[in-house]
Amino acid sequence: MAILLTGGAGYIGSHTAIELLNKGREIVIIDDFSNSNEKVLENIKKITNKDFKFYQIDYKDREQLEKVFEENKIDSVINFAGFKAVGESVQKPLEYYFNNVSGAIILLDTMRKYDCKKFIFSSSATVYGNPERVPITENSRVGGTTNPYGTTKLMIEKILEDLYKSDNTWDICVLRYFNPVGSHESGLIGEEPKGIPNNLMPYIVRVASGELEQLSVFGNDYETPDGTGVRDYIHVVDLSIGHVKALEKLEKEGQGLYIYNLGTGTGYSVLDMVHTFEKATGQKVNYKIAPRRPGDIAACYADPTKAKEELGWVAEKNLEDMCKDSWNYIQTVQRR
Ligand code: UD1
């Protein structure tokens, strides 16, 4: 029985592929390389010394997708095939709704046809909008997303809720990621944002490497310990292990719709990030204080208790590991 990873060549998909292969699981990856490339697949094989089947297809292509289900015994699906750039989603809402929401519907409908009903979905802390309080539990109010990307996550969560209500033989797990950073310790795979990055860690890394001149710290007048924005950064390897644990729960217990926050439970400010990065890597990060970025919130971090109690999962890597591994990856990219 195989696990299908849609978007399995992407940032979080590829790291999860490694954790599954290391556990001796059989996987099938589909990816259209819209935000990844063939090299990632080679590197997954190099890191794990294991092989897997791959199809270069768009997960929205129903005919091709059915072929994958025909040719393999797929028992569960982890859906990583979402577009994820917040700014781009504002420019291209139709593309985002089509790829993320229509794509998820096509995938779920195809799964139903082949009686494959174990589904893990990559959601985001963005579904909490501006949280009422921190740390955020899974019961906190959702809604108030500020961009199409975030709204697609919320919509898919709703679709999954309705689907489960209509047919409780589905086993569904929604994972709400906080801020994924870092990369595999080998430096062989990681995140390669196209163009100038929007997210903090990729930006810091490029300032340190000299590719970008200076980091703008967006606001130092928030109600946080040092005035800069506080987030829950989580190492991508920890996050990937969370998927393995979620899958194991569905396989053992099944029949339910489960929602988990995947975060460390600790919030770090933008300046904490800058200083820890400098300490961990020995590189200087040139920065200036700039105005707040529209749509940003002061603080967002998880209460990860539920995942600990029900999945037996806790994030183990610390901020220094995240900084070191992010830096290590960009250096191997630059050496290529
Ligand atoms: C953003 C998205 C979120 C997505 C997440 C992926 C928004 C509103 N939210 O979260 O939907 O799931 O990325 O990781 O866009 N910062 C700077 N300078 C920079 C970049 C960022 O000071 O050049 C600050 C921000 O103001 C914020 C913190 O760093 O306080 C983190 O920002 P970022 O990495 O963009 O993540 P989020 O905004 O939390």
Average pLDDT of the residues in 164-186: 97
CB 70 within 8 A of CB 209: no
Q: Which atom of ligand 1 is nearest to the CA of 150?
A: 11
Any atom of ligand 1 within 6 Å of the Cβ of 218 = yes
Out of 126, 146, 196, 232, give the residue to mutate to test ligand 1, the one with the largest number of ligand atoms within 8 Å of its CB. Answer: 126
pTM summary value: 0.97
Q: According to the model, what pLDDT value does residue 76 have?
A: 98
Any atom of ligand 1 within 6 Å of the Cβ of 217 = yes
- What percentage of the chain exceeds 70 in pLDDT? 100
Determine which one of 11, 55, 59, 149 is catalytic: 149
Closest residue to atom 19 of ligand 1, CA basis: 200
Q: According to the model, what pLDDT value does residue 192 have?
A: 77
Q: Which atom of ligand 1 is nearest to the CA of 149?
A: 11
Any atom of ligand 1 within 6 Å of the Cβ of 199 = yes
Q: According to the model, what pLDDT value does residue 336 have?
A: 72
Q: According to the model, what pLDDT value does residue 302 have?
A: 98
Phi first, then psi, for residue 38 (nearest 5°) are -60, -35
For residue 200, how far is its CA from the centre of ligand 1 (angstroms)?
6
C-alpha–C-alpha distance, residues 256 and 167, integer Å: 10
CB 36 within 8 A of CB 6: no
Q: Is the pLDDT of residue 333 over 90?
A: no
Any atom of ligand 1 within 6 Å of the Cβ of 154 = no
Q: Which amino acid is residue 309, in one-letter code?
A: E
- E strand residue ranges, 141-248: 171-177, 179-181, 215-218, 230-231, 233-235
Banded pLDDT at 332 (limits 50, 70, 90) = confident
Q: According to the model, what pLDDT value does residue 96 have?
A: 98
Q: According to the model, what pLDDT value does residue 311 have?
A: 98
Q: Is the pLDDT of residue 120 over 90?
A: yes
Any atom of ligand 1 within 6 Å of the Cβ of 124 = yes
Q: According to the model, what pLDDT value does residue 335 have?
A: 72
Rounded to the nearest 5 percent, the helix, strand and coil shares of the chain are 45, 20, 40
Closest residue to atom 35 of ligand 1, CA basis: 199
Beta-carbon count within 10 A of 162 CB: 10
Out of 296, 297, 322, 323, give the residue to mutate to test ligand 1, the one with the largest number of ligand atoms within 8 Å of its CB. Answer: 296
C-alpha–C-alpha distance, residues 4 and 331, integer Å: 31
C-alpha–C-alpha distance, residues 139 and 182, integer Å: 28
Q: According to the model, what pLDDT value does residue 30 have?
A: 98
State whether residue 76 is helix, strand or coil.
Answer: strand
Q: Is 268 a catalytic residue?
A: no
Q: According to the model, what pLDDT value does residue 34 have?
A: 94
Any atom of ligand 1 within 6 Å of the Cβ of 181 = no
Q: Tell me: the pLDDT tens digits for 225-279?
A: 999 999 999 999 999 999 999 999 999 998 899 999 999 999 999 999 999 999 9
Q: Which residues pair with 206 in a beta bridge?
A: none
Out of 128, 152, 211, 218, give the residue to mutate to test ligand 1, the one with the largest number of ligand atoms within 8 Å of its CB. Answer: 218
Any atom of ligand 1 within 6 Å of the Cβ of 179 = yes
Any atom of ligand 1 within 6 Å of the Cβ of 267 = no
Q: According to the model, what pLDDT value does residue 291 have?
A: 97
H or E element that contains 262: strand 256-262
Q: Tell me: the pLDDT tens digits for 88-114?
A: 999 999 999 999 999 999 999 999 999
DSSP for 106-169 reads HHHHHHHHTT--EEEEEEEGGGG-S-SSSSBPTTS------SHHHHHHHHHHHHHHHHHHH-TT
**pLDDT, averaged across the chain:** 96
Q: According to the model, what pLDDT value does residue 195 have?
A: 82
Banded pLDDT at 31 (limits 50, 70, 90) = very high
For residue 131, how far is its CA from the centre of ligand 1 (angstroms)?
15
DSSP for 56-74 reads ---TT-HHHHHHHHHHS-E
For residue 82, how far is its CA from the centre of ligand 1 (angstroms)?
18
Which of 152, 159, 172, 150 minimizes the C-alpha distance to 253?
172
Q: How many CA atoms lie within 13 A of 223 on its CB side?
A: 2
C-alpha–C-alpha distance, residues 215 and 168, integer Å: 48
Q: According to the model, what pLDDT value does residue 255 have?
A: 83
Exposure b/e, 3-27, CB count within 10 A at least 16 = b: bbbbbbbbbbbbbbbbbbbeeebbb
Q: Is the pLDDT of residue 194 over 80?
A: no
Which of 223, 333, 222, 226 minimizes the C-alpha distance to 274?
226
Phi first, then psi, for residue 304 (nearest 5°) are -90, 20
What Rg do the C-alpha atoms of the chain give, in angstroms?
19
For residue 199, how far is its CA from the centre of ligand 1 (angstroms)?
5
Q: According to the model, what pLDDT value does residue 67 have?
A: 98
Q: Which atom of ligand 1 is nearest to the CA of 297?
A: 30
Any atom of ligand 1 within 6 Å of the Cβ of 270 = yes
Any atom of ligand 1 within 6 Å of the Cβ of 86 = yes
Which token pair is 197?
């990055």
